[in-house]
Amino acid sequence: MKLDEFCAKLNARLAELTSTDERLHTTVQALAKAFRVSHDEVALLVLQSNNPNMLCFLWPQKLGKAGCIPLSAHNALAAKTVRGNRSFINNQFAAEPHAVIFEQVRLDTVPQQPIQKIISVPLIHDSKANGAIQISRKGADEKSVADFVQNDVKVLEEIARVLAGYF
């Protein structure tokens, strides 16, 4: 399926749904399928409405209960994505300093693997970033998972344009 068809179908599906929870699950399922990752390798963060200096996880939902990320955090890629209103690709993520606290939260019964590679794009609404979408690849080491390429970033940016109106 071509990207424009994928985005049109996703937009139509999300428009049919009335609950944020249904939209969230549909979004995660679509992103996981599009990037061939598991659901726990998808992250969706948004600025809190009552505190626009904090990014909170909508997905994975367990991370939403674990806390939020200050927008001022210099070692948090999601905060950097929103602050700079720009996308990032990092195929050596595990080797670089970053906020690892959320990687410590057990998401399911499978043993936790560290994030090795990641792409992060802003959710832009009315020319302002109000959140971020991240797709990661987890594994035992850097060589155990495939690299992201620049086209992956472009694809996620296009999907983010659709999602920005819903989250």
Q: How many angstroms separate the CA atoms of 135 and 117, rounded? A: 8
Using DSSP, how many helices (H) and how many strands (E) does the chain show? 5, 6
Give 104's pLDDT tier (boundaries 50, 70, 90). Answer: very low
Structure tokens given for 19: 């609950």
Is the bond preceding residue 111 a cis peptide, omega within 30 degrees? no
* Inter-residue contact 97 to 75 (CB < 8 Å): yes
For residue 112, is pLDDT > 50?
yes
- pTM across the whole model: 0.89
* Inter-residue contact 48 to 56 (CB < 8 Å): yes
Q: Do strands 128-138 and 115-125 pair parallel, antiparallel, or not at all (unpaired)?
A: antiparallel
Give 120's pLDDT tier (boundaries 50, 70, 90). Answer: very high
109: helix, strand or coil: coil
Q: How many CB atoms lie within 10 A of CB 154?
A: 13
The phi, psi pair for 143, rounded to 5°, reads -80, -10
Q: What is the pLDDT of residues 26-70, one digit of tens each?
A: 999 999 999 999 998 999 999 988 888 999 999 988 777 777 899
Q: What is the pLDDT of residues 69-90, one digit of tens each?
A: 999 998 899 999 999 999 999 9
What's the mean pLDDT in 130-149? 93
Residue entry with tokens 């819903």: 166
Per domain, the residue ranges of the chain are: 3-163
What's the mean pLDDT in 145-163? 97
DSSP state of 59: E
Better-scored residue on pLDDT, 26 or 105: 26
For residue 105, is pLDDT > 70?
no
Q: How many angstroms separate the CA atoms of 119 and 149, rounded? A: 9
Q: How many angstroms separate the CA atoms of 38 and 77, rounded? A: 20
Q: What is the pLDDT of residue 108?
A: 60
Q: Homologous superfamily of 3-163 in CATH?
A: GAF domain (3.30.450.40)
Q: How many angstroms separate the CA atoms of 108 and 60, rounded? A: 10
For residue 102, is pLDDT > 70?
no
Q: What is the pLDDT of residues 3-21, one digit of tens each?
A: 999 999 999 999 999 999 9
What's the mean pLDDT in 128-133? 94
Q: What is the pLDDT of residue 99?
A: 56
